[in-house]
Structure 1
Amino acid sequence: MSKRIAVIVGSLRKDSINRKAARALVQLAPPSLSLELIDIGGLALYNQDFDLEPPSAAYAAYREQIRQADGVIFVTPEHNQSMPAAMKNAIDIASRPPGQNLWSGKPGAIISASPGLHGGFGASSHLRQSVMCLNVLCMAQPETYLSQAHKLFDEAGEPREDGRKYLTRFINAYADWVARLAA
């Protein structure tokens, strides 16, 4: 049976490079993984007051998707050398209220894509720091920073040969990571 993997894309743009990378990962995933893109665009900014009342429908649905996932892949652009606010918000929502961290123990991985030369290294680094403290069992290697990522996809959003190679290497390593942790 394949493992259900939540894929969270930090960019809210429909045509973002990171969304293209996430869609390609879904296509390239081996049969041992079933990847599902989780929409974070409709989540209100986290507010601790929300922990004192029944969660909104959007929060409840999102938290249930994370609860049901066997693992998680974070696909992030870089905003001012860090992860986007939407990504941090999504992480916070599923880690709260206190004592109800839905991330704990899940095998995770981070991939970043940017048109710049650093491939989102700053975003990936900050994201890794945030999820490690929540006990996401984050895959250490291969660290994957897709630099000049706009060149890795064709006009239709499909990965070119180099893009396919990087993404296949990443998703196969993640599948091995998930299998190792499940053993």
Structure 2
Amino acid sequence: MKTIHLLGLCGSLRKASSNAVILRTLATELVPARIHLRLHSLHDLPLYNGDVDGGDVPAAVLALRDAVEHAEGVILGTPEYSHGMSGVMKNALDWLSGPNFKSPLKGKPTITFTATPAFTGGTRAQQQLHETLWAMQAELVAYPQIIIADVDAKICDGRLWDESARQFLANGVSALEERVRDAAPATLTWA
């Protein structure tokens, strides 16, 4: 079976980011061997500036766009700050939407998750994130919202250990894999 190449983006720059821990747990423990999940850092991404978008685009932006372009599917994880997605995630999506709305996310199978210490688990950030992805014409994979509430109690020793959260997240990745495989062009074989 062909390996599926997925890209993970974390909307937090914190060293001890729960969302980064979850993405690393996914990449090292939860995705099956037939999936390769590569994590791409947003730490060096400058603030969006339309004056340079399409001209002298910063190297970090080009690297991000290239990573998304070459991925077959994308997983976005973000905390919820002030009832919305993080500025880090919004900034990355702004860079990915241009220039002229020619986004490498357009038509790309995508799933999202939010993880917060709050009991809401980031549902408001999820809504805002989905609204932005719809505007960019990313293909949101049909799967229930992946929200991980009370995340601090579900992470220990640098990994997501809560079995129900792990299973729900792994099932979301399976839905993403299925969509990627369904979208792949059929290979012709001759008898």
TM over 0.5: yes
Residue type of the alignment partner of 1:18: N
Q: 2:3 matched to which residue of 1?
A: 2
Q: 2:168 matched to which residue of 1?
A: 166
Larger radius of gyration: 2
1:116 match: secondary structure: coil
Shift of 1:135: 1.2
* Structure 1 runs not aligned, ≥5 long: none
Question: Conserved in 2, the CA contact under 8 Å of 1:11 and 1:76?
Answer: yes
* Structure 2 runs not aligned, ≥5 long: 186-191
Q: Per-residue CA shift, 1:6-25, capped at 9, x if unaligned? A: 11100111211111111111
Shift of 1:36: 0.8
Shift of 1:165: 2.4
Question: Quick one: distance in 2 between partners of 1:94 and 1:85?
Answer: 14
Show structure 1 runs of 4+ deviating over 4 A: none
Q: TM-score, normalised to structure 1's length?
A: 0.92
RMSD (Å) for aligned C-alpha atoms: 1.6
Worse overlay, 95-104 or 5-14: 95-104
Question: Conserved in 2, the CA contact under 8 Å of 1:9 and 1:75?
Answer: yes
1:133 match: secondary structure: helix
Task: Work out the percentage of aligned pairs sharing the same amino acid.
Answer: 30
Question: Quick one: distance in 2 between partners of 1:130 and 1:168?
Answer: 24
The 5 A counterparts of 1:90-105 are: 90-105=92-107
Question: Quick one: distance in 1 between partners of 2:171 and 2:60?
Answer: 34
Question: Conserved in 2, the CA contact under 8 Å of 1:24 and 1:167?
Answer: no
Question: Conserved in 2, the CA contact under 8 Å of 1:142 and 1:173?
Answer: no
Question: Conserved in 2, the CA contact under 8 Å of 1:109 and 1:174?
Answer: yes
Q: 1:133 matched to which residue of 2?
A: 135
